[in-house]
Amino acid sequence: MGETSVRVVLLEMSTSAVPLIYAACRQCYSAQFAGDVFAQAGTVPLAQQEEFVRKIVASGHESPLEHVKFTFAVEGVSRALTHQLVRHRIASYSQQSQRYVKAADFDYIVPPSVAADETLRRDFLACMEQAQAAYHKLLARYQALGKTGEAANQDARFVLPQAAETKIVITMNCRELRHFFQHRCCTRAQWEIRKLSDGMLAICKEKLSCVFSAAGAKCVSLGYCPEGEKFTCGRYPLKEQFLKKPA
């Protein structure tokens, strides 16, 4: 039982990602069959294909990006985070079950605001210890009643905190990833999911820069903050200020 933090690992991504997007894009504007375009992609320099894809992405034509996907393994995140994460529904998730996996000595995530204050930190850690003790007490009682395994875990888990660490596998296509980054890389996003999003974005930029080089919070692509005066972080001008700029 102890503190932990997010770790993101790329498990797999679509092979031949650039030629695949290139062929799908070309199909939209060409009489040629995409199967032939893909088969002949080796005759077109990769840099040329990447530039084509980069221009398509910049134009806002994003549907071809749905043909390429990334799969990530994530650990060291809280249940509070995954409750937010699964709201992104154009994705596939496989999460560690608290019903089948006993939280015998669960790790937990400590918010930075708690870590920065000794009193908050002391009280927070005490809560984690109390939750763990309550969990073990419930399991012991269930065992005395002859109830073990998932039958006991599924009810004992109700005392576990949202801070409890979980592990999850995430698969998203490139279009959904760009949408995810727009919302979760924003400074208004909750700190933990923003940290996860930043880690995923760094991997995507490294592996497929022609799609993700300009990805990130909405302001990155727009050039202005769409959140309004009340919520802006000040990194970019507000929309009204941006539109009033002299040509």
3-class state of residue 230 by DSSP: coil
pLDDT value at 205 more than 60: yes
Q: Would you say how long the chain is, in residues?
A: 247
CA 52/CA 42 separation, integer angstroms: 15
Please say whether the beta carbons of 224 and 239 come within 8 A. Answer: yes
Assigned domain for 231 exists: yes
pTM tops 0.85, yes or no: yes
Which tens digit of pLDDT belongs to each residue from 151-178? 999 999 999 999 999 999 999 999 999 9
The b/e string for 128-151 (b: 16+ C-beta within 10 A; e otherwise) is beebbeebeebbeebeeeeeeeee
pLDDT value at 246 more than 90: no
Q: What is the pLDDT of residue 243?
A: 82
Which tens digit of pLDDT belongs to each residue from 87-97? 999 999 999 99
Q: What is the pLDDT of residue 239?
A: 87
pLDDT value at 240 more than 90: no
26, 175, 178, 184: the catalytic one is 184
Please say whether the beta carbons of 39 and 32 come within 8 A. Answer: no
Assigned domain for 34 exists: no
Output the average pLDDT for the chain: 95
Number of other CB atoms surrounding residue 35 within 10 Å: 10
Q: Which of 128, 148, 163 is the last residue of a domain?
A: 163
pLDDT value at 242 more than 90: no
State the helix-helix crossing angle for 191-207 and 174-184, rounded to 10 degrees: 140
CA 69/CA 152 separation, integer angstroms: 38
- Mean pLDDT for the stretch of residues 98-120: 97
Assigned domain for 118 exists: yes
In the annotation, is 178 catalytic? no
Q: Closest Cα to residue 227, out of 201, 192, 189? A: 189
Assigned domain for 54 exists: no
Assigned domain for 191 exists: no
- Mean pLDDT for the stretch of residues 57-74: 96
Assigned domain for 158 exists: yes
Contacts of 34 (CB under 8 A, 6+ apart): 23, 24, 26, 27
Question: No. of H helices and E strands in the chain?
Answer: 12, 4
Q: Which of 121, 140, 163 is the last residue of a domain?
A: 163
Which tens digit of pLDDT belongs to each residue from 226-237? 998 889 999 999
CA 27/CA 20 separation, integer angstroms: 11
What's the domain range around 229?
218-247
Please say whether the beta carbons of 32 and 26 come within 8 A. Answer: yes
In the chain, the number of structural domains is: 2
Which tens digit of pLDDT belongs to each residue from 112-166? 999 999 999 999 999 999 999 999 999 999 999 999 999 999 999 999 999 999 9
The torsion angles phi and psi of 213, rounded to 5 degrees, stand at -60, -35
pLDDT confidence band for 247 (50 / 70 / 90): low
Assigned domain for 207 exists: no
- Mean pLDDT for the stretch of residues 198-206: 98
Q: Which of 143, 163, 183 is the last residue of a domain?
A: 163
pLDDT value at 245 more than 80: no
Assigned domain for 179 exists: no
3-class state of residue 96 by DSSP: coil
Which tens digit of pLDDT belongs to each residue from 34-62? 999 999 999 999 999 999 999 999 999 99
